[in-house]
Structure 1
Amino acid sequence: MKRLVAGMALVALAWPAFGQSGGGFTDVLGNWSRDDGNARVVIAPCGKALCATNTWIRDPASGEKVGDRLEMKLQPTGAKAWKGTAYDPQRHRTYVMTMSLGGKLQTRGCILGGLLCSSVSWTRLR
């Protein structure tokens, strides 16, 4: 989950924003595979947030496990781009997060005031 959190690395979000074009999240909902091939997640609404939940982990010894989730509270910053916070309830840690969708889903999560950051690319699963 550490890498998911860092990757998905996530300001309250109103429910109607999920369906809005441009600022909404409709295009990011669904199943994604981390480009290193070590994890798969489903991104779906969860209350007033957007959650990324692990559905498959190559090596559970890494500390990640199926069912771990990241709760993202994001606001649009542009066309198919968002910024906000992500909370990892398994580790009780909050990250500053950006997410953008072009050909792939790109995520970046930071802690310690932006001193420690990680970026991850995700490919949509069909």
Structure 2
Amino acid sequence: MRFLSLLAASGLILSATAASANTIDGTWMRGDGNARVRIAPCGDKVCATNVWIGDTSNGEEVGDRLIMTLAPEGGGRLAGTAFDPKRQRSYNIIITSNGQQMSTKGCILGRLLCREVTWTAAR
């Protein structure tokens, strides 16, 4: 659940292609300032990999990643699933981005328990 907070609770869905990730490709700083994540294509999926973690006491580590299958829904929105290999958990995820700001909403338990996280493009 901790890594889920990374991407919208973090952590990532239908059928991913590199093209569907274009609006979110890059490095993002989580709203609480404790994580930087690099989002990039990985095979036919999209991966979000921790590249920097400030406080590791909650179990987040550099190198942790979510493997996402995403499909565009229009308006800068992607939806799908995310798999956290470290914790062996899958999540439903919705990502909204305008290129400089991103919001991720990750859900478990049939979308009964969700967490939303904001991100800013890192420079």
Asked if TM exceeds 0.5, the reply is: yes
Aligned residue runs from structure 1 range 88-103, under 5 A: 88-102=84-98, 103=100
Q: Percent identity?
A: 47
Instruction: Note closer, same or farther for the CA distance 1:68–1:35 as it changes in structure 2 (3 Å cut).
Output: same
Larger fraction in helix: 1
Q: How many residues align?
A: 119
The alpha-carbon deviation at position 6 of structure 1 amounts to 4.0
RMSD between aligned alpha carbons? Answer: 1.4
Other structure's SS at 1:28 match: coil
Could you list the runs of 5+ residues in structure 2 that have no partner in the other structure? none
What's 1:3 paired with?
5
What's 1:12 paired with?
15
TM-score, normalised by the number of residues in structure 2: 0.89
Could you list the runs of 5+ residues in structure 1 that have no partner in the other structure? none
TM-score, normalised by the number of residues in structure 1: 0.87
Deviations 1:20-64 (A, max 9, x none): xxxx32221111000100100100111111000001111111110
Equivalent pair of 1:99/1:106 in contact (CA under 8 Å): yes
User: Which of structure 1's runs of 4+ aligned residues deviate more than 2 A?
Assistant: 5-10
Q: Distance in 1 between matches of 2:50 and 2:11?
A: 14
What's 2:52 paired with?
56
Q: Distance in 2 between matches of 1:3 and 1:25?
A: 19
Equivalent pair of 1:29/1:42 in contact (CA under 8 Å): yes
